[in-house]
């Protein structure tokens, strides 16, 4: 171990908050992202509870997804059925 490495280790041990001070932007970013994630979970939970619970929300989202898929798939199905019927005429 060199004298510089020993001195750096001594400085770090003498002031453990030095890492936080040196990387203030990264620490702020990580804490901000964690805070945003916690806020998102809390708000989602409040909205789900207000809507009747997670089970109701999951069923409603599933129903909306099925209706949306059907809205895009049904015209294609009708067109394919029409083409098949035209081939036999």
Map out the domains of the chain as residue ranges: 1-50, 53-89
Model confidence pLDDT, tens digit, residues 23-65: 889 999 999 999 999 999 999 999 999 999 999 999 999 999 9
pLDDT number for residue 17 = 81
Distance in angstroms (rounded) separating the CA atoms of residues 64 and 60: 6
pLDDT number for residue 85 = 76
Higher pLDDT, 44 or 10: 44
What percent of the chain stands above pLDDT 90?
Answer: 61
Using left for φ > 0, alpha for ψ between -120 and 50, and beta otherwise, residue 53 falls in left
Q: Is the pTM of this model over 0.85?
A: no
């Amino acid at each position: 171990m060199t004298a510089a490495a020993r001195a750096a280790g001594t400085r770090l041990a003498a002031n453990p908050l030095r890492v936080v001070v040196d990387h203030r932007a990264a620490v702020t970013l990580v804490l901000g992202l964690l805070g945003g994630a916690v806020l998102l979970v809390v708000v989602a939970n409040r909205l789900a509870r207000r809507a009747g619970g997670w089970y109701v929300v999951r069923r409603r989202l599933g129903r909306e997804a099925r209706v949306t898929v059907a809205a895009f798939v049904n015209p294609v199905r009708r067109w394919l059925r029409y083409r098949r019927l035209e081939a036999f005429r």
